[in-house]
Structures are given as C-alpha cells and as structure tokens.
C-alpha cells in the first residue's frame, strides 16, 4: 500500500441483489458508522434499482454508494440507459466504468469509457476505471501493453483537476478464485503508476490503484501489504457483509 493514499475498498454487486439484500448494506453501513475515524473509504455499488433505498440506509454513515455503469449523455432517447446525473441524484458518489464485463458484453471501447468518465466528473461522481488483460494476452507477454493502451485511451481528469480511481482487474482472475502472483501484481501496479504519471502528470501520484479479481477475506491481508495497491474492487465477496467487512479491515 502506498502510505500517503487513503485505501479504498469497493464492492461490485453486478446483477445481484433484491430489496431483501439491503440488510447486507445496513450491516456494512453500521460498521462504517459515523464517529469512527475513517481509515479507508468504503463503497458498495449495488444494482441501480437499489440505489435510492441504499442511500436512505447510508444516511449518517461513512459508507459511500456507486453505480456500475453510466451513459455519457445527460438525458435523452436512450432506452434502458442511466446517466451519471441520475446516479448522483439517486445517491451515488462513485461509478464503475469500463468493467471487463461491459467491455466484452457491450462492446465498450476505450473512447466510450473515456466519454463516460468525463460524464462522471460532470455529475460530481468519481469514476472507477477498470483495466485488465485476458489470459491469452498475458501468456503472449502483452499484459503491460494491453493495460497501457486501455489506460491512455480510457482515463480522463476533470477541468477542475479531479482525478479517477483505477482498478486493475486481470480478466482471468475475475470470479475464478485464481489471483496473480504478488510479483505480477506489484509489477503491473508500478507500471500503472508510471503510466498515470505520463497521462495525468503530477496528479498521477494521487490516483488510487485498486486490485480486483477473486479478492477474498483470506487474501486481502497480503494484497494490502503490496506496493501501489491502494485498495481493492471486490465482486463475489462483497455480497456478504461479513466477508466484505473482513476485507475492509485488512485495509483499514
Ligand atoms: P470477483 O469480481 O471478486 O468476483 O472476482 C471482481 C470484479 O469483477 O470486479
């Protein structure tokens, strides 16, 4: 972990969660209760259908909420889409953008992710921009090149100097229970830090770089000790408050 940056632990619920799941958010919000010194920023990104109810629960707590995607436009004839302004209005302060499931499943290009990032800043949200290589790309020795291209193509900073969060999520580690070696994570995060310096100049040092992909309570401690790992983006293990809280504790 880079000492100067406050860790960020974010949960991505993906397409999971009904109103009955709000109990998990209630438990995390209670853990992140007001009055405790905030040692880490904690974010849950539930499906958009739960944001408003979750925001009610989070009132007075230090648990932040995020969306899982947004459209770049403010409003208009875009059936089924959600704007960054709508997410902010529903109580979000973050938004995950360019997740590999969106890049692959919805054909999102780097340029589309960058436009969404600018929309997030416009709406006052902090974008969490995801990058990561496939197994084939890693096997071919292309991991750094692929991630470098995604970064320079997708990231944006705001005119007022606000900066994104970046999440490195190797696609082969998502939902598989397999994570890269510590050496590979440290190498990639150091590379991302250098690239951020090129893309965002001095602001690059202030960007939190999260690791994501099969983060669980049992491996969070070792991840938290790695250089330039400023937090984690957690999928499956964020659905159960007890597991997620254990992961937060490893970073707090
Ligand atoms: P996982 O998902 O923790 O279930 O591997 C991570 C993600 O896709 O953000």
Q: What is the pLDDT of residues 190-233, one digit of tens each?
A: 999 999 999 998 899 999 999 999 999 999 999 999 999 999 99
DSSP state of 211: E
Please state the CATH superfamily assignment of the domain spanning residues 8-14+39-44+59-234 in this structure: Aldolase class I (3.20.20.70)
Atom 9, ligand 1: which residue's CA is nearest? 235
Closest among 184, 88, 87 to 135, alpha carbons compared:
184
**Measured in angstroms, how far is the CA atom of residue 10 from the centroid of ligand 1?**
10
Give backbone dihedrals phi and psi of 41, rounded to 5 degrees, phi first: -80, 135
| Ligand 1 and 132: CB distance under 6 A | no
DSSP 227: T
Ranges of beta strands (E only) in the chain are: 8-12, 41-45, 63-67, 94-97, 126-131, 165-168, 209-212, 231-234
- The pLDDT-based confidence of 8 (bands split at 50, 70, 90) is very high
Token couple for 3:
């000492």
Distance, in Å, from the CA atom of 252 to the CA atom of 239, rounded to the nearest integer, reads 19
3-state secondary structure of 182: helix
Pair 238, 246: CB distance under 8 Å: no
Beta carbon of 213 within 6 Å of any ligand 1 atom: yes
| 82-134 pLDDT per residue, tens | 999 999 999 999 999 999 999 999 999 999 999 999 999 999 999 999 999 99
């Amino acid at each position: 972990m880079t000492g100067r940056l406050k860790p960020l632990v974010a949960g991505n619920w993906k397409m999971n969660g009904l109103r009955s799941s709000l109990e998990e958010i209630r438990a995390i919000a209670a853990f992140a209760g007001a009055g405790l010194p905030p040692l880490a920023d904690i974010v849950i990104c539930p499906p958009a259908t739960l944001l408003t109810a979750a925001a009610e629960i989070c009132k007075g707590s230090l648990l932040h909420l995020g969306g899982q995607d947004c459209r770049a436009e403010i409003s208009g004839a875009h059936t089924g889409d959600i704007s960054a302004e709508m997410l902010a209005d529903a109580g979000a302060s973050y938004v995950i953008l360019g997740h590999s499931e969106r890049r692959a499943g919805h054909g999102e290009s780097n340029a589309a992710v960058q436009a969404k990032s600018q929309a997030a800043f416009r709406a006052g949200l902090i974008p969490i921009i995801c990058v990561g290589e496939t197994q084939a790309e890693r096997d071919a020795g292309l991991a750094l090149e692929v991630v470098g291209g995604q970064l320079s193509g997708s990231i944006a900073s705001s005119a007022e100097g606000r900066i994104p969060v970046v999440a490195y999520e190797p696609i082969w580690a998502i939902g598989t229970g397999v994570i890269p070696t510590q050496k590979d994570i440290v190498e990639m995060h150091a590379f991302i830090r250098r690239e951020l310096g090129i893309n965002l100049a001095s602001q690059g040092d202030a960007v939190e770089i999260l690791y994501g992909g099969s983060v669980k309570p049992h491996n969070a401690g070792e991840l938290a000790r790695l250089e330039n790992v400023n937090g984690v983006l957690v999928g499956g293990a964020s659905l159960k408050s007890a597991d997620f809280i254990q992961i937060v504790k490893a970073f707090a």
